[in-house]
Every structure is written in structure tokens, then in C-alpha cells.
Amino acid sequence: MTKVPVAGFELISLVVVLDWYTKMSVGPCAGMQGKALLWLTALDLAVNRQFLNGVQVRKVRRRIDG
């Protein structure tokens, strides 16, 4: 999360969820206040963009280090 100055407003809160592997922005969300709802909206957007058909359709493999 960061705060961005915008002309005509004070500061806008910007929350960006990144795909750790590709480093792509998958869940950007901006609002006047950086409250929990802004974070939840960004996360919800990211999950719904990455898993269009739901999570049970894709095989998710867990990486084990060591």
C-alpha cells in the first residue's frame, strides 16, 4: 500500500496485489482511505482474475524447499 497525491484531492491510498512469480499486478485498488475494505477488495479482485474457473479446476503444487 502507498499513498499517492492527486490534483484536486489530498492523498489517495493505493493497494496493489502482485503475482509473486510473474511480478504482474493482478489486484489494484484505490480509495480515499486505506482501510481493511480496500485491502479485501484488492485481494478479491486478484483471486478472481487469476482463477476464473475457481481454484478446484487448477492443480496447485506446493513447492517444498530443502
- Check residue 1 and report its DSSP letter: -
The answer, yes or no, to whether residue 66 has pLDDT greater than 80, is no
Q: Give, for 47, the enclosing helix (H) or strand (E).
A: helix 36-50
Report pLDDT for 24: 87
58 vs 37, higher pLDDT:
37
Contact indicator for 43, 18 with CB cutoff of 8 Å: no
Q: Decide: 22 and 49 in contact? Cβ < 8 Å.
A: no
Q: How confident is the model at residue 58 (pLDDT cuts 50, 70, 90)?
A: low
Residue closest to 9 by CA, chosen among 29, 28, 27, 31? 31
Read off the pLDDT of residues 19-48 as tens digits, 9 standing for 90 and up: 888 888 888 899 888 788 898 889 888 888
The pTM (predicted TM-score) of the whole model is 0.67
- Domains of the chain, residue spans: 2-50
